[in-house]
Amino acid sequence: MQEKKYDEKLNRILTFCKAGYLLVSLLFVVRGLIEDHTATWSERSVLIISVSSVLAAVLICYFHTWILLKYRPRETDEGIRRLLVFESFVLLAASAALIWFTDKNNSYFLIAALLFLVPVTIQIGLRQAYLIISLLSIYILVLDIVYSFSTITLFLEKHLISIAVLFLTTWILDRFVMTDRDRILALEEKANQDGLTGLFNHRYFHSTLNYEIKACHRLRQPLTLLFLDIDAFKEFNDTFGHLNGDRLLSTVARLMTEHKPEGAILARYGGDEFAVIMPNLTKDDAVSYGEKIRSSFQNLDLRADMLISDKEDREKLPSVDPMTLSVGIAQWNSHTDNALALIKNADDALYRAKLFRKNRVEVYDSILDTIELDMEKDDYDLLNSLQALINIINARDRYTSGHVERVVMYSKALAQQLCLAEDERRSLSLAAYMHDIGKVNLTEKVLNKSTPLNEKEWSDIRDHSVVGAHILREVAILAEIAPLVLHHHERYDGTGYPNKLKGKEIPFLSRVLTVVDSFDAMTFDRPYKAGMSWAQAIVELRANKGTQFDPDIVEAFISVIEESLRNDPERKSLKK
Tell me the pLDDT tens digit for each residue of 400-455.
Answer: 556 787 888 889 889 989 999 988 988 998 898 888 888 877 777 777 676 777 78
The pLDDT tens digits for 471-522 are 888 877 788 999 999 999 999 999 999 999 999 999 999 999 999 999 988 9
Residue 337's contacts (CB-CB under 8 Å, 6 or more residues apart) are none
Q: Bigger pLDDT: 117 or 564?
A: 564
Residue 91's contacts (CB-CB under 8 Å, 6 or more residues apart) are 18, 21, 22, 25, 116, 120
pLDDT at 541 over 80: yes
Least confident interval from 104-113, 465-474, 528-537? 104-113
The pLDDT tens digits for 170-221 are 777 777 767 766 666 666 667 788 889 989 999 899 988 988 888 887 778 8
User: Domains (ranges, CATH) in the chain?
Assistant: 8-190 (no CATH), 193-364 (3.30.70.270), 367-576 (1.10.3210.10)
pTM of the prediction?
Answer: 0.57
